[in-house]
Amino acid sequence: MASEQQLSAIKGAKVLMVGAGGIGCELLKTLALSGFQDIHIIDMDTIEVSNLNRQFLFRKSHVGLSKAKVARDAVLRFRPHISITPYHANVKDSDFNVDFFKQFNVVLNGLDNLDARRHVNRLCLAGGVPLIESGTTGFLGQVTVHIKGKTECYECQPKPAPKSYPVCTITSTPSKFVHCIVWAKDLLFAKLFGDKNQDNDLNVRSSDATSSSEHAEDVFERKKDEVIEQYGRKIYDHVFGYNIEVALSNEETWKNRARPKPLYIRDVLPIELIQQNGNADKSFVADDSSSVSAMASLGLKNPQDIWSLRENSRVFFEALRLFFVKREKEIGNLSFDKDDQLAVEFVTAAANIRAASFGIPLHSLFEAKGIAGNIVHAVATTNAIIAGLIVIEAIKVLQDDANNYRMTYCLEHPSRKMLLMPVEPFEPNKSCYVCSETPLLLEVNTSRSKLSDFIEKIVKAKLGMSFPLVMHGSALLYEVGDDLEEDMVANYEANLEKVLSQLPSPVSGGTILTVEDLQQELSCNINIKHSDGEVAGVGCQVPDARTEKPLGEGWQLEDFDEEKEPDGMVLSGWTKEKDKTTSTENGASTSNASEAVSLETKEDSDIEIVPTGIESVTTGKKRKLPEMSDATIPDSSKNELHEIDDDDDGDDLFMLDDGDSDGSKKKRLQ
């Protein structure tokens, strides 16, 4: 039961909810039932069938309608006298500026992507509005409180990059099923059905591979009038047979690894069976390309069955055939989509055949789809718990009860018999470029990198600015806006194509650039350090790998992390201590990889979001938690610090005692 004081804080509050999905539906219901009377909701999406299992304010008849509006109507049915204002819009729209945010007493996020979260964080900081962040992934969840100047902001801790795998592991030495999935979807599927102009590292390159004309690049081109079965056999033998033989010829690779087995179709599936493939049900006709299915065509019903090598090979041929027969127009433009049944079937089959070759256990289509689509199945209960915790923190915030703010982690396995782990919030990170004025450091080859690279890869992709302005002293190098004069636009366009050292106001080592986003009201300085940008060699057997671009999300070369160092640009935090001890002639410290700002830029395609602390947990990055609240842990368990860690596969979570606090730069909120 809420106290009188709490009730009056609740009744007088005007709150903004961003996101009306899994967490948002629960949150709106809980806010309304807790007595909140003035709630605004922003959500840009419409309702999909896949939302209905957990976004309980929505029904089948609502599919296609605005989430924000339907959520409002559903809640008004049991709380008719409160005010709920829905906005079917993107929170990044310019209407939602700092003045808009300032009208609220607290902002509550129920989002599913980093980009929108960072944007809201910045507007809350600019408007001085408290923010309560949340996220869930399966059984894991968290709620954090961000108050300008008092607690860390959402961006005080760098966010880890999406999980990535070295190219060599994917192309030559897979050891886990996920490696086979990445190979099947980002290499083989992309090669056969995607954009032909994209770089693709499917073929193991070695001197003998390139010398053989039979196995030259165009093996993947289907010749005019080439019978589809024959084309399929050629691809199969090339990728599962010949390429494995080539890889095996490099003895060094296999000294300490199990040797893979080349697979040729003649040994797996007799020719008659390929010809009969897909003829099991001749009456099977699917006009709608989205319902074309190799499983249906072959009479395979249960997606949870693990198919044999032979069955996988049949699915491989049938899916390939169906793409060419039923979806030919899309070939060349396809990219893997977890909701595309035929694509999932093809990728499952190809990954399993590769797994068989490398002695890796095979998986069902259901499992393969989960891995390929990065799916962590959402748990409605976790969303409900998290929504409840958001409301609890919101009430504290409205009462200015700073001593009792908690960041709460919802764990998968009990730790000290607790599933909910409350932690006192951290103080702001003094070197956070978002909530403090600390400059950043960028190591860049100023005579090679263009202004456009700097803007796209650093200012937009890493710093998350949408409408950037770049200044060198008082000289404007770049800005965007609707009201710019034509000659200014032409000047900026010309600047974009220039390398940094040749801009009208040249950028060199020691330059300080100011970058601003006017909508987010965020400004930060970047100290430039010139670097020749040479990258050290890698221990990979793929010649020329260094010059290859990463092959889609999750890809990187060993030792060279394109996410952190796009085109050799290294962005890192800048602290006074570092400056004092290691300053160089350019007035900047050498970069420390562990300090590099590595922020996730991709949109989450997962069913549920991968939130901050959870991200740290699931990507194996250690995150120290400060002393836990005396009120919430038994005396025997009071340790200075606790760490959340995980194993390599990312879903086991456990807490480790750690009496030593020297690793933590963060202080508890006083």
Interface of this chain with ligand ATP, residues 46 to 105, rule: CB under 6 A = 50-51, 67, 90-92
Distance CA 96, CA 90 (A): 9
Residue 299: how many other CB atoms lie within 10 Å: 9
Stretch that binds ligand ATP, among 18-26, 209-217, 295-303, 555-563 (CB under 6 A): 18-26
Q: Let me know if 665 is exposed, middle or buried by CB neighbors in 10 A (0-12, 13-18, 19+).
A: exposed
Q: Confirm if 15 and 391 have CB atoms less than 8 A apart.
A: no
19 binds ligand ATP (CB under 6 A): yes
45 binds ligand ATP (CB under 6 A): yes
Give the pairing of strands 440-444 and 570-573.
antiparallel
Q: Confirm if 141 and 382 have CB atoms less than 8 A apart.
A: yes
Binding mask 142-171 vs ligand ATP (x if CB under 6 A, - otherwise)? ------------------------------
Q: What letters, b where the CB count within 10 A reaches 16 and e where it falls short, cover 508-530? A: ebebebbbbbbbbebebbbbbbb
Stretch that binds Zn ion, among 149-157, 247-255, 332-340, 611-619 (CB under 5 A): 149-157
Instruction: List the single partner that 51 binds among Zn ion, ligand ATP, none, CB under 5 to 8 Å by kind.
Output: ligand ATP
# of chain residues touching Zn ion (CB under 5 A):
6
SS3 state at 397: helix
117 is annotated as contributing to ligand binding = yes
112 is annotated as contributing to ligand binding = yes
Stretch that binds Zn ion, among 374-382, 433-441, 503-511, 618-626 (CB under 5 A): 433-441
Q: Quick one: which of 16, 178, 235, 432 contacts Zn ion (CB under 5 A)?
A: 432
DSSP letter for each residue of 351-390: HHHHHHHTTPPP--HHHHHHHHTT-----HHHHHHHHHHH
Distance CA 16, CA 18 (A): 6
Interface of this chain with ligand ATP, residues 349 to 378, rule: CB under 6 A = 378
42 binds ligand ATP (CB under 6 A): yes
DSSP letter for each residue of 229-251: HHHHHHHHIIIIIIHHHHHHT-G
Residue 94 Cβ vs ligand ATP, minimum distance, rounded to whole Å: 13
Q: Quick one: which of 25, 47, 156, 669 contacts Zn ion (CB under 5 A)?
A: 156
112 binds ligand ATP (CB under 6 A): yes
Closest to 618 (Cα-Cα) out of 653, 657, 654, 643: 653
Residue 384 Cβ vs ligand ATP, minimum distance, rounded to whole Å: 13
Interface of this chain with ligand ATP, residues 582 to 611, rule: CB under 6 A = 607-609
116 is annotated as contributing to ligand binding = yes
> Any catalytic annotation for residue 168?
yes
Tokens 């590769």 belong to 354
Instruction: List the single partner that 239 binds among Zn ion, ligand ATP, none, CB under 5 to 8 Å by kind.
Output: none
Catalytic residue among 25, 124, 168, 540: 168
72 is annotated as contributing to ligand binding = no
User: Residue 145 belongs to what H/E stretch?
Assistant: strand 140-146
Residue 462 Cβ vs Zn ion, minimum distance, rounded to whole Å: 15
- Vertex 536: Cα angle to 531 and 542 (nearest 5): 135
Interface of this chain with ligand ATP, residues 115 to 134, rule: CB under 6 A = 116
Q: Quick one: which of 219, 344, 435, 644 contacts Zn ion (CB under 5 A)?
A: 435
Give the chain's radius of gyration (CA, Å): 27
Residue 434 Cβ vs Zn ion, minimum distance, rounded to whole Å: 5
386 binds ligand ATP (CB under 6 A): no
Nearer to ligand ATP, 67 or 530 (CB): 67
651 is annotated as contributing to ligand binding = no
Which tokens sit at 1? 């039961």
Q: Confirm if 666 and 427 have CB atoms less than 8 A apart.
A: yes
Instruction: List the single partner that 432 binds among ligand ATP, Zn ion, none, CB under 5 to 8 Å by kind.
Output: Zn ion
Q: Confirm if 462 and 564 have CB atoms less than 8 A apart.
A: no
Instruction: List the single partner that 137 binds among ligand ATP, Zn ion, none, CB under 5 to 8 Å by kind.
Output: none
Backbone angles phi, psi at 98, to 5 degrees: -60, -40
Which tokens sit at 530? 């010139």
22 binds ligand ATP (CB under 6 A): yes
5 binds ligand ATP (CB under 6 A): no
Residue 143 Cβ vs ligand ATP, minimum distance, rounded to whole Å: 15
455 binds ligand ATP (CB under 6 A): no
126 binds Zn ion (CB under 5 A): no
CB contact set of 137 (below 8 Å; sequence gap of 6+): 376, 606, 608, 609, 610, 611, 614, 618
416 is annotated as contributing to ligand binding = no
Backbone angles phi, psi at 450, to 5 degrees: -85, 160
Residue 32 Cβ vs ligand ATP, minimum distance, rounded to whole Å: 18
Tokens 């093996």 belong to 219
Distance CA 55, CA 589 (A): 49
Distance CA 619, CA 621 (A): 6
SS3 state at 111: coil
434 binds Zn ion (CB under 5 A): yes
Q: Quick one: which of 13, 16, 21, 435 contacts ligand ATP (CB under 6 A)?
A: 21
- Distance linking the first and last C-alpha atoms of the chain: 28
Residues flagged as binding site = 19-24, 43, 51-54, 67, 112-117, 153, 156, 432, 435
Positions that interact with Zn ion (CB under 5 A)? 153, 155-156, 432, 434-435
Binding residues for ATP: 19-24, 43, 51-54, 67, 112-117
Active site residues: 168
Binding site for Zn(2+), by residue number, is 153, 156, 432, 435
Q: Which residues bind ligand ATP (CB under 6 A)?
A: 19-22, 24, 42-45, 50-51, 67, 90-92, 111-113, 116, 378, 607-609
